[in-house]
A = this chain, B = another copy of it.
Amino acid sequence: MSRGYNFSAGPAALPEAVLRRAQAELLEWDGVSASVMEVSHRGKDFMAMAQRAEADLRSLMTIPSNYHVLFLQGGATQHFAQIPMNIARRDERADYVVSGDWGEKAVREAGPMVKVHVAATSAANAHTAPPPRDTWDLDPHAAYVHYTPNETIRGVEFMDVPDVGDVPLVADFSSSILSHPVDVSKFGLIYAGAQKNIGAAGLVVVIVRDDLLARSPKDIPKIFSYAEHAANGSLLNTPNTFGWYLSGLVFEWIRDNGGVAEMARRNQAKADMLYGYIDGSGFYRNPVDPAARSRMNVPFTLPDAQLDAAFLRESHDAGLLALKGHKLVGGMRASIYNAMPIEGVRALVDFMRDFARRNG
């Protein structure tokens, strides 16, 4: 048995060097004679590690000093609800720009907590491109504007940060954080589940501007308050300590591999290789507007869905894992996050070419 190239959309492949290090120190971590999972989150060893991880993330993303970084639980889905709970009143309007299924889910979960207004949606064209900026119905008095920079299921990405004026911009970066440089100062709040580009499932990173922290109401349980988490270094409860540690290892790995700019260069090369092959193949097809094709998630279909089962079986046998598309879309999906080396994409393209030749 050996490790394959893992195209899972999330939980997703981790850098092998990170897993090897975690494996080596799983029983005895950093000179403490115990696993990192077995030590107090309030002890000096864990706290030092946690602060190092935050400092590394701040450095990688050039996070300004007027933002707090929180390491929380509940995944992006919980924060669909927790964000309005913290930065809006229930009777306030919040504008949602929907470019895919995760945006729709954000709308549903936020619904009980704020007056959700869908300012724009690309549902009518099956989310094959984000809604054009000039069609967005924004309220300059909205509590915030929410969007999803990269939609994992249909593989649609905003290539630029939209200008929404003075209203705080809130972005679910779960599937594209750390994949390319982002100007954090353009956002009020950035959040991301860890299980794609940061680490393992069960951790969510929230980067929040201090003026929004001040909006956290006093009459909610403390455990839901971003302001309380910020004031307590994300140690209001016992955090996902192993997840936090693992994210720190991933941040080090990104730094040692040239930082986010180098990740972006590699990701662009991988995406160009895969989309280039698909478009020229005359066999596979990606339906997304070329100007909005995700650099992280590449869905594609075969000319005949009858071939899907054979494609999945044979690709798996070739060590190319988890290529089955999301059930809402069908076909295939290759997720090519930071941890996917270009060799993996090359192996996929080689397989696809061979499969097309044999079945074309």
Contacts and interface: CB of A to CB of B under 8 A. Distances in A.
Interface of A: 1-4, 6, 8-14, 16, 19-20, 22-23, 26-28, 31-35, 37-41, 43, 73-78, 80-81, 108-113, 193, 195, 200-203, 219-224, 236-243, 246, 319, 321-322
Contacts of A240: 73, 200-202, 240, 243
Contacts of A77: 223, 236-238
Given A14-B38, A109-B222, A33 B78 contact: no
Contacts of A34: 3-4, 6, 8, 13, 321
Interface centre among A10, A202, A241 (most CB of B within 10 A): A202
Nearest to A241: B201
A100 B180 CA distance: 49
A246 to B, nearest CB: 8
A204 to B, nearest CB: 9
Nearest to A27: B19
A14 B300 CA distance: 44
Instruction: Tell me the interface secondary structure of chain A in the complex.
Output: loop
Given A40-B322, A112-B221, A237 B78 contact: yes
Nearest to A222: B109
Contacts of A195: 238, 241
A91 to B, nearest CB: 15
Contact of A33 (B202, B238, B243, B321): B321
Given A200-B241, A202-B243, A20 B27 contact: yes
A13 B33 CA distance: 11
Given A3-B34, A31-B1, A242 B202 contact: yes
B321 A219 contact: no
Contact of A11 (B41, B108, B201, B220): B41
12 contacts: A2-B33, A11-B38, A14-B37, A34-B321, A41-B201, A77-B237, A80-B221, A200-B241, A201-B239, A201-B240, A201-B241, A202-B242
